[in-house]
């Protein structure tokens, strides 16, 4: 039910924002923007737009991160929306040595309206199975000396329903359908099909990164003979999204969705394991009796907050998952280490769950 409410809220918000946006015309009416960038009323030259679950321009965030790693001067503008639909602007500027972060809430009718600039040292990218975060570090004037620049959530398990139906071929003669649990071959033969949870999670991540809920500028853009056509339907909670395109569509969205379609096809052709390995990833909160207590799916900033709060609150007060990993040489690990562990069997119980470790390693 919560996921349904969130999805309905997202669609209403998108309609509201669409009504607020203006298109640039030749005579200069509306807001200016660079070609291919998000259009935001009242804000020029937006690179990344985060609309409560929808993310546009993530490739520009990734490019800025790579520029910083390589010492290349760069800048980036990110816009977030408040619940009321007001834009919050975060400007990043890297001069080759340090990162300047300017948080501008002056357009927020219900906020403080202040513009605050801080200077940080580095930018880290933290990838978890269900979220990716970009965090500025060495920010002297902030708690934990960190500022969360952007977080992209893609936790499939938080959805009540997530299924796909992909038709493809010169005449859409083949089909992969996780909803009906079937594959239809080019020759018309139908076979049963099951997509494992880890593959569906990765597929959901790729769809979120492609901003699949937004309107796409793709379609029958090419007339190449024998082009492969695609029809993708995504069933998410109580709604669905349908996208049509051809493999010769070289637009940014066309390229993204062709890669997604090929991923679905490639995975459908693999032999799926009956019992896929269970893997957990998280930060170490406690060490005792050859057992590590970890909290999953947090980024570095959230962990720093969690390690203090957990001393005063019960685990059931948090939405995060906690797991006790048994059979670990705890002397190899310290509090705050981030680990990735393969489970021997399954996780039993919750808050915390308990599991025996088959393999474990410390992450960088």
The tens digit of pLDDT for each residue in 227-258 reads 999 999 999 998 999 999 999 998 889 999 99
Residue 220 pLDDT grade (very low, low, confident, very high; cuts 50, 70, 90):
low
Closest Cα to residue 99, out of 79, 126, 117? 117
Rounded to two decimals, the pTM is 0.85
Sequence spans of domains, the chain = 2-153, 157-268, 279-362
**CATH level 2 (architecture), domain 279-362:** Beta Barrel (2.40)
- Distances 202 to 65, 130, 164, 320, 341 between C-alpha atoms, Å: 22, 9, 13, 20, 18
Q: What is the Cα–Cα distance from 130 to 132, expressed in whole angstroms?
A: 7
As beta bridge partners, residue 348 has 354
**Phi, psi angles (nearest 5°) of residue 309:** -70, -30
Residue 221 pLDDT grade (very low, low, confident, very high; cuts 50, 70, 90):
low
The tens digit of pLDDT for each residue in 310-342 reads 988 989 999 899 999 999 999 999 999 999 999
């Amino acid at each position: 039910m919560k996921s349904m409410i969130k999805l309905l809220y997202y669609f209403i918000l998108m309609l509201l924002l669409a009504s607020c946006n203006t298109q640039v015309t030749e005579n200069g009416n509306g807001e200016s923007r660079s070609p291919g960038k998000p259009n935001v009323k009242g804000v020029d030259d937006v690179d990344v737009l985060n609309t409560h679950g929808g993310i546009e321009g993530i490739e520009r965030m990734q490019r800025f991160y790579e520029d910083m790693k390589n010492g290349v001067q760069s800048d980036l503008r990110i816009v977030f929306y408040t619940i009321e639909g007001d834009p919050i602007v975060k400007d990043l500027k890297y001069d080759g040595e340090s990162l300047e972060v300017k948080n501008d809430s002056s357009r927020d009718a219900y906020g403080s309206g202040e513009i605050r600039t801080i200077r940080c040292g580095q930018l880290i990218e933290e990838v978890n199975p269900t979220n990716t975060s970009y965090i500025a570090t060495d920010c002297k004037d902030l708690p934990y000396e960190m500022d969360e620049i952007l977080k992209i959530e893609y936790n499939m398990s938080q959805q009540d329903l997530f299924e796909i139906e992909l038709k493809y071929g010169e005449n859409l003669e083949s089909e992969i359908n996780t909803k009906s649990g079937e594959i239809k071959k080019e020759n018309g033969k139908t076979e049963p099909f099951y997509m494992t949870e880890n593959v569906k999670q990765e597929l959901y991540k790729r769809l979120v990164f492609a901003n699949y809920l937004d309107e796409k500028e793709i379609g029958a853009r090419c007339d190449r003979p024998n082009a492969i056509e695609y029809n993708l339907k995504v069933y998410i909670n109580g709604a669905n999204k349908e996208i049509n395109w051809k493999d010769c569509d070289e637009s940014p969205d066309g390229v993204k969705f062709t890669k997604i379609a090929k991923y679905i096809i490639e995975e459908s052709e693999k032999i799926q394991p009956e019992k896929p390995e269970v893997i957990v990833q998280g930060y170490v909160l406690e060490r005792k009796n050859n057992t590590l207590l970890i909290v999953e799916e947090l980024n570095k900033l959230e962990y720093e907050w969690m390690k203090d709060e957990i001393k005063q609150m019960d685990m059931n007060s948090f939405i995060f998952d906690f797991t006790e990993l048994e059979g670990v040489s705890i002397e190899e690990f310290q509090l705050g280490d981030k680990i990735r562990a393969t489970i021997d069997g399954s996780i039993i119980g919750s808050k915390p769950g308990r599991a025996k470790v088959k393999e474990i390693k410390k992450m960088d």
